Amino acid sequence: MKTNAKFLVPVTAVLFALCARPVMAQSTIFTVPNTDTVPKGKVDLRFDWLALANGDGDRLHTLNPRIVVGVGGNIEIGANVPTNLSHNGTNAFFQPNIKWKFASNDARGLAAAVGGVFVTRVNNRGGGATDNYGLVYGNFSVRVTSGSFGPRFTAGPYGVVTDGQVWDGPKAGAILGYEQPIHSRASIIADWTSGKNEIGYFTPGMSFRIPVIGSLKGGYSFGNDGHRDNRFLFVSYGITL
């Protein structure tokens, strides 16, 4: 397995120093990070749209433009600017992030990565609300290399760093992902983040590679708390330049 050991200590220290909000961006399945990183010099542009798809509560939409840049050494950096829209107002966040694929073996279909997201509120700061959150994670993936459409499984732990004022639910748990190609341009995908908290969702769906213009993902997110007001339609479109 190939490693970049000289980067491990400083990058891990930076990740655990981050204090951010728990929205996993970067190269992802839906919201769970995969072990891929954007190649050096490439730019991945993506736009996510989430809409409350059930329940009798307030209608909520989240618009999330994302950018991720490959900087070399199997490291990518990026930022998201998700905005929540409802009749109660607008809440926007800024989320710089980093991921490092520190080990890989393509012949065996193995890879491992660590990453972190920092999030701060852009508006409606203060008033007793915690403005900053932190999330760090590690993950490991195994791809079945036999056959043309072998699945890939991803798993790892996550941890959340907050000052305890607002966060509700577990601050640590597991992330899981599944990707099953069914065609050269189509895959069944699903991911899950454990915990009855802000990031605790199960999202199954489909991913399509669109010739020339990018990729499209569509799914449905179920909150781990089981509430009907915590289920979202999830659509994501992206291109790599």
Q: Is 231 helix (H, G, I), strand (E, B) or coil?
A: strand
For 128-181, what is each residue's pLDDT tens digit? 455 678 899 999 999 999 888 999 999 999 999 887 666 788 999 999 999 999
Residues in the chain: 241
Look at the chain and report how many structural domains it folds into: 1
**CATH number of the domain that residue 147 is part of:** 2.40.160.40
Q: Is 15 helix (H, G, I), strand (E, B) or coil?
A: helix
**pTM across the whole model:** 0.83
Give CA angle at 204 (63, 85), nearest 5°.
20
Q: State the residue range of the domain holding 228.
A: 2-240
Task: Note the pLDDT of residue 5.
Answer: 42
Beta bridge partners of 92: 83
35-39, 130-134, 226-230: segment of lowest average pLDDT: 130-134
The closest alpha carbon to 14, from 77, 92, 80, belongs to 77
pLDDT-above-90 percentage for the chain: 59
* Eight-class DSSP state of 211: T
For 82-141, what is each residue's pLDDT tens digit? 998 887 788 898 999 999 999 999 999 999 999 999 888 888 776 545 567 889 999 999
